[in-house]
Amino acid sequence: MDDIFGIKIFESPYCNRIVSVRKHKKRHNQSETYHRRVQKKWTKRFGTRTEKVAYLIGGQVFGREMLIMHPEHVAILRNLDV
């Protein structure tokens, strides 16, 4: 795919992010240290999953904005006929 709205689009199967399955909700009376410690335990207990993402790289890096997307997202964009 060439570009959309002046933004060059590339596809990469490496556009993944690892996230925790469950997130610990930080309450107002909990310290940040406590929240991070509990989140670490929840990640160990409930595990992680990979999430397909897209990254926008600004124009100051390569002279033109680029959008790097997972191939599944690019396939959805192609089906939209934008």
Phi-psi region of 53 (alpha: psi -120 to 50; beta: other; left: phi over 0): beta
Q: Token match 């990254």: residue?
A: 55
- Average pLDDT across the chain, whole number: 89
CA gap 72, 77 in Å, rounded? 9
Q: Where are the domains of the chain?
A: 3-80
For the cut 80, the answer to whether the pLDDT of residue 2 exceeds it is no
Rounded average pLDDT over 9-37: 94
Residues 24-56 have pLDDT tens digits of 999 999 999 999 999 999 999 999 999 999 998
Q: Is the dihedral of CA 47, 44, 12, 5 positive or negative?
A: positive
Q: 82: burial class by Cβ within 10 Å (0-12, 13-18, 19+)?
A: exposed
